[in-house]
Structure 1
Amino acid sequence: MSKNLTIQEKLIKKYHKCEKVTNLKQLLYRSSDIYGSRIAFKLKNDKGEIYPVSYKEFKQDIVQLGTYLIELGFLGKRIAVIGKNSYQWAVSYFASTIVGIVVPLDKELHDDDVINFLNISESVCVLGDTKNLKGILEKKSNLTNQDICMISLDLEKKSNFAKFDSLEHSEVYYINDCISKGKEFLIQGNTDFDAIEIDPDEMRILLFTSGTTGNAKGVCLSHRNVCSNITSIYGIVKVKRSDLFFSILPLHHTYECTIGFLLPLYSGASICYCDGLRYILKNIGEYHPSVILCVPLLLENMHKNIIKNMNKTLPKKYVKSPNENPYDNLPGLIKHVVKSKVKNTLGGRLRVFIVGAASVNPSIAADFETECSPLVAGNNDFYHKDDSCGLPIPNVTYKIDSPNENGDGEILVKGPNVMLGYYNMPDETAKVLKDGWFHTGDIGRIDEQGFLYITGRCKSVIVTKNGKNIYPEEVEYYLNDNPLVSESLVLGIQKDDDDETYINAQILPNIEAITEYLKGAVPTKDEIKKIMSDIVASVNNKLPNYKHIKGFIIRDKEFEKTTTQKIKRYGDNTKIDNNDDK
């Protein structure tokens, strides 16, 4: 009699077959050989016209740029890349990580932070957008390496660097010139790039991350770290050669870089780039992507816009509230029409959202599955739960450290994707890497079927006087679930005359939604306060007493966010004036 298999054992039997790769040079050459003339990128020219770049052309540009970087003496050196998502960024990343060690930097960093990371990483070259290079030149005197080479990712030499001519070693190269010079060396018989051999287990990627709690660390990654992730994800999420990935999130972030950039290139799919957050729906209509990678906040904002537009076009008898999803209440024929319109809003070809970096509201996941397309929230093609992050990807295991009575504890991960360590920080590395297990800092639980749920962050947990743990993300989830709330941040505060910790919420109202809720009347401050007070009371009714929101502050501007659209839990966002406590 055969034993009953667990879901995880069944999943292993269903994995999509994939060819293993251990380094990014191997991935590049493999994809060029297999997919050659297929479209790797869909790009826009200055006139807004879309044109293709093939896999063969992509590899050619990388080899030529890499050859020139070697000629400049950068073999085995640290090379920084900074700029908006672009084809030039993609070429620079590949060339840099094959020739040396790539240092991807956040284009939104303050110039002082960019200088600091260039110094810490000992970068000898930086390929970047003009805006970022000008920022570096403004602060050049603070650079340890005054001879650092600068290469602009701009296609045309419209940028004016003349004001920096008086500085020593201030010459700025242009990427197209570098690619052309590399081509000349190749024609002369240079084979240095082809000859590079990569140790898949040595550091080849150095990235700096501050997350949402401050204190940036350098994370050391190898090619095996990244490639194991690519093939593991391919094993559970089928990527088709006909897929077009719409790149929204910043490429310096490993989430977008791995899944939105390297995975489609491994799979023979194509990539297109968003012109900016305000152009998401416009660009979707232009490119008609089939895969969108995003974080929950972006998905939630898209969901709110879709619901709002749906309610504006439906007959009033089907609309209960301007911000409430009417789909389930619609007759069959109208449902079909609405579903078709929503799909067209999302380009008409969209087959999957991939949502990560934080947990997604399960009701929103269910809505998108019903009205648009399947959704993967860290889940897979075979088994998923909307409120879960999914089952472990191939070759990766996880467990919960010291779970409490509810099964919640720190999530520990083991696998070939786990980083090598923090750059020049052995003590910090020892804190998070113990006996092969990476201590993620995330709080979560695992259900009886092996599905993982993330409930909060260790560093953001609020501890009350009597030892109760409160995860602010849970309270924020209930607040943000109300369409009259745009976003919120929950913190623990202490009164001057009391050593107890109280739950305080900062709430940004959705003024447009409130206006519609009030039948078109612009809300007064008192009306907004009353509505938010009612929402807080409703949330408190869903929570145990010790998690109740004791006070709230109404914000009039958005929270500061990271470039992956997570609200920062530090800095100005956490400054609370108790006099404003409502």
Structure 2
Amino acid sequence: MGISSMNANSDLYIVPKFSNFRDLLNYSAGQYANQNAFQIKKENGTYRIITYKDLIEQYYSLCAEFIRRDLLGKRIAVIGNNSYGWVLSYLCAATVGVAVPIDKELCAEEIQDFCEAAECSIICADNATREKLIQVDSSFLQYSHRDIENFRVSCSEHEKRYIDSIALPIDEMRVLIFTSGTTGNAKGVCLSQNNICANIYQTTRIVQIKPGEKTISVLPLHHTYECTLNCLLQLSRGACISYCDGLTKIAQNIQEYRPSVMVVVPALLKMMSKRIRLSVAKECPEKYRALFQEKSLAQALAEVPFFIRKIIRAKVRKTLGGKLRLVIVGAAELDTSLVDDFSALGIRALQGYGLTECAPLLAGNSDFFLDPASTGCAIPGVILKILSPNETGVGEVAVKGENVMLGYYQDEAATCAAMQEGFFLTGDLGCIDDKGALFIKGRIKNVIVTSNGKNIYPEEMETRLGEAECISESLVLEGKGPDGESCVKAKVLPNIEFIKEKLGHFPSFEEIQLYVKSAINELNSKLPSYKRIHIIVILEQGLERTTTQKIKRYGVNLA
């Protein structure tokens, strides 16, 4: 049984530890009062700056307003695009009652169902969500994020003292998150503020964020990955947060805000790397273009003369704002070549692993440990172990730590099933090497078991397929061969632009098929026979994804 935990004697950063959001915000207001907490773009293209002094004043004012409206101890839903208003709503809701972040992409009926299941008293939402909810006559809708951002009613000293006296026990639910992941089974995850603050402390001990650093918020805030690591953690360290104008504007926003830190998913990092490589291929001296067209960015840079490499690197870094030094990557498996690509540009990419139930981070590469092939070691204060490992050391990942949830909402059976002797059972399969690094193989429920008892991990196969440039995305499933036995089936979306560029004309279906089959045959030649892909389905449109860009393993994707 593999066990991983951070050595207590390891060199770690000394950072403050909080047990609740109120203490975190007061600390930051005291330490970084006049520094920028948010840089918000206004409709006219100018910016509104929110300092840490402004933030703490608006935090107390909105808490007081919620209390005046008899919301003490009540459930408050927070829905909408990432914004300062979203963050302020969430912080205040969790202080006076319970914050219930909900996915803005859900339909009006689903949002209402979750609000009713959580027994929410009000909703704090952006204008788009408010308009959507009018369709179902949501009578408890009261606050807009825009109104909250501009809320200016002062908080008296008496009200402030009252807010400071609100008890925030470390074992009391203050955040309720409904999560369905990629399998579609929604559960309510009950988190205390201490669960989240513990995770912030655990992470900032191994990854340094300095006061005055800047980040762009791209991923949805209703996920703990973004909310913990790219919002609350940043605010605890005196960083400044800006918001992306949309996925098509990421490149523009990076140049505009000049971030030093970003929190992304692998799909976004891959897109950034591809754009960089194509841009370099067009602009570099003609004799080197083939390198950037055919090889990874890191490989190509290594093969050009030093002075050319230096010029390319400087130009690329300028397109990334000139200050980007750290990219935190999670929520799906990372192609290790991307770590090398960004490292070649002087940008550190750190992969981690976590779940909503753990607020979310459990393991990660850090300033003290880097193994691009792994998801890193257990973060300080977390113990990981592998249950019932097979002959290769792979078994279920179990975890214990202060960041582990209180339980599932109104579901004692599910809570009990997820816990074993104080450890939370993640449902993920993995192994731990002799350095303590964790390697995730996939979800238990996704594993394909062959007739001779061999295990095939679809996520591992999908990562390998993603390395072929003629394949944009894939989903690996269990198929049935002519003899009725289990085999590997791959649903593949071809990269039409890549094939078109290679052929010099728009490809026919037969040509697309030839490219895809050639790539899969090459992969199969490197795999043991039981892992080889036997059924190929070529898709005409992309697979459905979650809001963190994970491919869904239910619904139309399985059709």
Both proteins in one fold, TM over 0.5: yes
Matched, 1:384 2:366: no
Matched, 1:500 2:485: yes
Q: 2:510 aligns with which of 509, 526, 546?
A: 526
TM-score scaled by length of structure 2: 0.93
Q: Once the 2 structures are TM-superposed, how far is the Cα of residue 324 of structure 1 from its aligned partner?
A: 2.5
Query: 2:344: which partner in 1?
Result: 370
Mapped partners of 1:416, 1:10: distance in 2: 16
Query: 2:425: which partner in 1?
Result: 439
Q: Count residues in correspondence.
A: 541
Q: 2:142 aligns with which of 132, 142, 150?
A: 150
The answer (yes or no) to whether the contact 1:359–1:387 under 8 Å persists in 2 is no
Mapped partners of 2:255, 2:396: distance in 1: 41
Q: Match of 2:487, as an amino acid? A: Y
Matched, 1:399 2:393: no
Mapped partners of 1:214, 1:323: distance in 2: 38
Q: Match of 2:405, as an amino acid? A: M
Q: 1:175 aligns with which of 127, 148, 154?
A: 148
Larger deviation, residues 413-422 vs 506-515: 506-515
Q: 2:409 aligns with which of 412, 417, 423?
A: 423
Q: Match of 2:91, as an amino acid? A: F
Q: Once the 2 structures are TM-superposed, how far is the Cα of residue 137 of structure 1 from its aligned partner?
A: 2.6
Q: 1:128 aligns with which of 125, 129, 132?
A: 125
Query: 1:547: which partner in 2?
Result: 531
Structure 1 10/187 Cα, relative in aligned 2: closer, same or farther at 3 Å? closer
The answer (yes or no) to whether the contact 1:487–1:509 under 8 Å persists in 2 is yes
Mapped partners of 2:317, 2:27: distance in 1: 35
List per-residue Cα deviations over 1:422-455 (Å, max 9, x = no partner). 0011111111111110111111110011011111
The answer (yes or no) to whether the contact 2:5–2:380 under 8 Å persists in 1 is no
The answer (yes or no) to whether the contact 1:493–1:502 under 8 Å persists in 2 is yes
The answer (yes or no) to whether the contact 1:359–1:388 under 8 Å persists in 2 is no
SS of the aligned residue for 1:13 comes to: coil
The answer (yes or no) to whether the contact 1:12–1:394 under 8 Å persists in 2 is no
Q: Once the 2 structures are TM-superposed, how far is the Cα of residue 303 of structure 1 from its aligned partner?
A: 1.1
Q: Match of 2:471, as an amino acid? A: V
List per-residue Cα deviations over 1:464-491 (Å, max 9, x = no partner). 2222211011111111011221111111
Q: How many percent identity over aligned positions?
A: 42
The answer (yes or no) to whether the contact 1:11–1:382 under 8 Å persists in 2 is no
Larger deviation, residues 339-348 vs 188-197: 188-197
Q: Structure 2 stretches of 5 or more lacking a match?
A: 352-363
Q: Once the 2 structures are TM-superposed, how far is the Cα of residue 493 of structure 1 from its aligned partner?
A: 2.1
Q: Match of 2:109, as an amino acid? A: D
Q: Tell me: higher relative CO, structure 1 or 2? Use CA pairs within 8 A at least 6 residues apart.
A: 2
Larger deviation, residues 251-260 vs 190-199: 190-199
Matched, 1:208 2:188: no
SS of the aligned residue for 1:250 comes to: coil
Mapped partners of 1:323, 1:280: distance in 2: 25
Mapped partners of 1:136, 1:547: distance in 2: 47
1:89-238 paired onto structure 2 within 5 Å: 89-140=86-137, 146=139, 148-154=140-146, 174-175=147-148, 179-180=151-152, 182-183=153-154, 186=156, 191-238=161-208
Query: 2:440: which partner in 1?
Result: 454
Q: Structure 1 stretches of 5 or more lacking a match?
A: 1-5, 155-173, 576-582
Q: 2:213 aligns with which of 230, 235, 243?
A: 243
Mapped partners of 2:519, 2:8: distance in 1: 41
Q: Once the 2 structures are TM-superposed, how far is the Cα of residue 193 of structure 1 from its aligned partner?
A: 2.3
Matched, 1:568 2:539: no
SS of the aligned residue for 1:272 comes to: strand
Mapped partners of 1:218, 1:8: distance in 2: 28
Q: Once the 2 structures are TM-superposed, how far is the Cα of residue 8 of structure 1 from its aligned partner?
A: 6.8
Q: Match of 1:464, as an amino acid? A: T
Mapped partners of 1:434, 1:9: distance in 2: 21
Mapped partners of 2:175, 2:368: distance in 1: 32
Larger deviation, residues 210-219 vs 26-35: 26-35
The answer (yes or no) to whether the contact 1:18–1:235 under 8 Å persists in 2 is yes
1:344-363 paired onto structure 2 within 5 Å: 344-363=318-337
Query: 1:579: which partner in 2?
Result: none
Matched, 1:331 2:305: yes
Query: 1:74: which partner in 2?
Result: 71
SS of the aligned residue for 2:344 comes to: helix
Structure 1 8/440 Cα, relative in aligned 2: closer, same or farther at 3 Å? closer
Query: 1:314: which partner in 2?
Result: 284
Q: Once the 2 structures are TM-superposed, how far is the Cα of residue 187 of structure 1 from its aligned partner?
A: 7.8
Structure 1 115/202 Cα, relative in aligned 2: closer, same or farther at 3 Å? same
Mapped partners of 1:280, 1:558: distance in 2: 21
Q: Once the 2 structures are TM-superposed, how far is the Cα of residue 57 of structure 1 from its aligned partner?
A: 0.4
Q: Once the 2 structures are TM-superposed, how far is the Cα of residue 323 of structure 1 from its aligned partner?
A: 4.6
Q: 1:15 aligns with which of 12, 20, 23?
A: 12
Q: Once the 2 structures are TM-superposed, how far is the Cα of residue 189 of structure 1 from its aligned partner?
A: 6.1
The answer (yes or no) to whether the contact 1:244–1:271 under 8 Å persists in 2 is yes
Q: Once the 2 structures are TM-superposed, how far is the Cα of residue 7 of structure 1 from its aligned partner?
A: 11
List per-residue Cα deviations over 1:91-137 (Å, max 9, x = no partner). 11111000100000011112221111001100001000122122223
The answer (yes or no) to whether the contact 2:394–2:430 under 8 Å persists in 1 is yes
List per-residue Cα deviations over 1:144-182 (Å, max 9, x = no partner). xx5x2421113xxxxxxxxxxxxxxxxxxx4357x33x4
Q: Once the 2 structures are TM-superposed, how far is the Cα of residue 556 of structure 1 from its aligned partner?
A: 1.9
Q: Once the 2 structures are TM-superposed, how far is the Cα of residue 43 of structure 1 from its aligned partner?
A: 1.0
SS of the aligned residue for 1:528 comes to: helix
SS of the aligned residue for 1:404 comes to: coil
Mapped partners of 1:176, 1:312: distance in 2: 44
The answer (yes or no) to whether the contact 1:36–1:54 under 8 Å persists in 2 is yes
Q: Once the 2 structures are TM-superposed, how far is the Cα of residue 24 of structure 1 from its aligned partner?
A: 0.8
The answer (yes or no) to whether the contact 2:399–2:423 under 8 Å persists in 1 is yes
TM-score scaled by length of structure 1: 0.90
